[in-house]
Structure 1
Amino acid sequence: MVDPLLLRAVPASVRKDAHLAMRTLARAEYATTAELIQDTYAHTADYPEIWVEGELVQIPYPLRYEWPSADVLSDLSSTQRLVLACWMSRHSDGWRRQEALGHLLEADAADTLHQKPVQGSGLHVTETAISKREKTAIPN
């Protein structure tokens, strides 16, 4: 399965990994729409264009894919798992977005691939980020 809308959401530097990650996705409950995350709310002008690694990316919303199984994920590279988590952070289900954010916060390259989409998404991720950091914090 190839979803060109998902490929537009990642910079060219990881597009090969994105193709491989995309193969792990089962058919979505509903097709990905061409609606961009920047255009989903009444305050469209408040959301900036999203640039990653100097490249304009277009983040579709909402997504309705299921997470691949743990066995399938274990066969992917860390970059491929990170791409999946970036996509899943745009899921229509808030619990799936929260799960994706957990994966992103644990990833070394998360700042490079996901910082701007999170900042420009207009979704409430601050509490989840704080909660995740508190759970993994080492007590003094």
Structure 2
Amino acid sequence: MALPAKLAHDLAKKGDMVIGWKLDRAQRSELLDRFPPKFRETVADHVTLRPRVARDSELPCETAGEIVGRIDDDAGVEAMVVRIDGTTGRPDGSTYHITWSLGRGRHARESNDVIARLGWQPLDPIPIKLEPASFP
């Protein structure tokens, strides 16, 4: 059973998985053509709802979102800001995003820090398909 994102977030118990959404594979390819990754490692894979959750956590029910912004720190972290169900704000106070690309020695978990520190540049909304998922 899928739940609204906030409820899925709030009910998840601690564990070693992540719940959120995977990007639609076909649309991912189109988006990578439209926004070529700036840094060496292409990620462009998913939107996190909540990390470190139990394997049996309920998935979110939302299946659509919009890319509404972009940020890169010119030092190895590039991310796209995503709006889901009318908000860019994750229930934990961080920002829904897709880590787009990373430079050497950088990690996807740094995207939220970059967004919090630098903000983001708005883009005209781009609808995206999202597949509720859990992943390591």
Which structure is higher in helix share? 1
**Fold match (TM-score > 0.5):** no
TM-score, normalisation: structure 1: 0.31
Which of the pair has the greater relative contact order for Cα pairs under 8 Å at 6+ separation? 2
Q: Which has the higher strand share?
A: 2
